[in-house]
Amino acid sequence: MALQPTDEVHVMLSSWEWGKYLGDSQLRLMTSSFQRPNPKSCFVEAKVTGHYTNSILATTEAKQKGFDEALLLDMHENVAEGPGANFFYEKEGKLFTAPVGNILNGVTRQTIFELADELGFELEEKFFTPEEVHDADGAFFTGTAAEVAGVESLDGHKFNFSWEDTMGFDLANAYQNRVRKKEYKQFELV
Which pTM value belongs to this model?
0.86
pLDDT-derived band of residue 184, with 50, 70 and 90 as boundaries?
low
- Which helix (H) or strand (E) is 125 found in, with range? strand 122-125
Q: Which of 146, 58, 63, 51 is nearest to 103 (CA)?
A: 51
In the CATH hierarchy, which fold is given to the domain comprising 27-38+47-181?
A: D-amino Acid Aminotransferase; Chain A, domain 2 (3.20.10)
Q: What percent of the chain has pLDDT over 90?
A: 64
Residue 1 has pLDDT above 60, yes or no: no
User: What residue segments make up the domains of the chain, in order of their start?
Assistant: 27-38+47-181
Q: Which of 124, 108, 130 is nearest to 187 (CA)?
A: 108
C-alpha to C-alpha distance for 138 and 121, rounded to whole angstroms: 14
Active site residue 40: no
Catalytic choice (47, 65, 94, 126): 47
pLDDT, tens digit, 9 for 90 and up, residues 44-94: 676 666 667 888 999 999 999 999 999 999 999 999 999 989 999 999 999
